[in-house]
Each structure stands twice: as C-alpha cells, then as structure tokens.
Amino acid sequence: MAEQILAFAVLIALIFALNLIPVFAPPTWMALAFVGFQFPETNPWALALVGAAAATLGRLTLALLSHKIVGKKLLSKVQRANIDVIKQRLEKRTTLTFGIFLSYAFSPLPSNFLFIAYGLAGLPLLRVALPFYLGRVVSYAFFIISGQAAGRRFQIDSLESTLYAGSYFIVTQLVVIALLYAFTRVDWAVLLDEHRFLWRR
C-alpha cells in the first residue's frame, strides 16, 4: 500500500512537471498509455483521475506564468492590446470557453498552446479548470485502457513505437510554436470584426 501511494505521488509530480513545460514536453496521454501498457493490472480510472488532476494543475500554473512573465514583461503594449481583443470577447462567452476546453480535452492534441494563449489573455483560470479536468479524465482513461489492452495482447516493437511517438511529438510541438507566434501577430480586431486576416508587424 505504501509503495502504491509513493508511486502515485511520483506520478503526480512527473505529470505536473510535464504539463508545466511550455513546449517539447512528452504528451501526458502517451506517458499514461505507456504505464497502462507496462502495468495492465493498474486501475485505469484511478490513474486517470490522478493524472488529470496533476495535468490540470500543471496547465493552470503554465497559464498563470505565461500571464505573469510573458504577458506582462515580454510582450509590447501593442501586442498586449491586440490580445486584449480576445479577452474582451471571451469574457462575454463563458459557455463557449467551457465548451472549447471540454472538447479540446477529449482529444490527444497538445494543450500547451491553448493554456499559454489563455494565460496571455489574462482570463480567469478557474473557468477552464473543470472542463479541462473532466475531458482529460475521460481521454486519459481511454488511452490507459487501450495501453492495457495492447500490453495484454500484442508484442509491440519498442524501437518502432519510439520512432512513431517521437515523430508525432516533434511535429505537434513545431505546430504549437508556430501557433503561439501567430497568436501574437494576428490582428484580432480586424479578424473578428471585419472577417479578414491582417498580420501585425
């Protein structure tokens, strides 16, 4: 029992750290699927609940740091004013924000971009904590159970799986970096009000 508690504590710390890293951190769902693959006797829902809690705390901290460090100290006044356009729109649409984070949390897509952008906008973090947590519980449980099923039935070549995971990881993180750059450069007032794309210098 003590060993299990220690293992869960280490897992929580690891997942929290992974979700605190802005870019080029291994996706949590992949790590949990690997745990399920290696330890098929693990309770998938308990693991999903713990993993989702740690991931949510990590992402909220990432958003907060993005706001405090990048948003307030590294962005210019013009860039902050541009992002404030998004903030003003989302403040009036709490249901839309809830739906976006819930839907996104069901997917295996990296969420670092979403939380960094949300943090840059300076929006209330508690508003997105619940939908993200609920979505991650379900998606993590799915990947853990899938990993357990694969561990019981198949002999997966470790080199092949590592190459696939590495390729997916590199491509998604490069996309995240491009999206973050675009997020601060797109003229949001023009895009949302006039429905045309304008790139700010």
**Residue 195: φ, ψ to 5°:** 55, 40
Q: pLDDT at residue 128 above 60?
A: yes
Mean pLDDT across the stretch 81-106? 87
Instruction: Round to whole Å and give the CA distance between 77 and 179.
Output: 20
Q: Given pLDDT bands bounded at 50, 70 and 90, which one contains residue 36?
A: confident
Q: pLDDT at residue 140 above 90?
A: yes
**In this predicted structure, what is the pLDDT of residue 165?**
56
Which amino acid type is present at position 184? Answer: T
SS3 at position 43 = coil
What is the pTM for the complete model shown? 0.84
Lowest mean pLDDT among 12-21, 24-33, 90-99, 157-166: 157-166
| Helix-strand-coil split of the chain, %, nearest 5 | 80, 0, 20
Instruction: Round to whole Å and give the CA distance between 82 and 45.
Output: 42
Q: From the CB of residue 75, how many other CB atoms can be counted at a distance below 10 Å?
A: 15
**Residue 186: φ, ψ to 5°:** -70, 135
Mean pLDDT across the stretch 120-149? 93
**In this predicted structure, what is the pLDDT of residue 23?**
83
Mean pLDDT across the stretch 4-28? 86
Q: pLDDT at residue 138 above 90?
A: yes
Instruction: Round to whole Å and give the CA distance between 190 and 84.
Output: 13
Percent of the chain scored above 70 by pLDDT?
89
Contact 87, 122 (CB under 8 A): yes
Q: Given pLDDT bands bounded at 50, 70 and 90, which one contains residue 163?
A: very low
Percent of the chain scored above 90 by pLDDT?
33
Q: Kindly give, in sequence order, each residue whose CB lies less than 8 Å from that of residue 61, ignoring residues fewer than 6 positions away.
A: 16, 19, 20
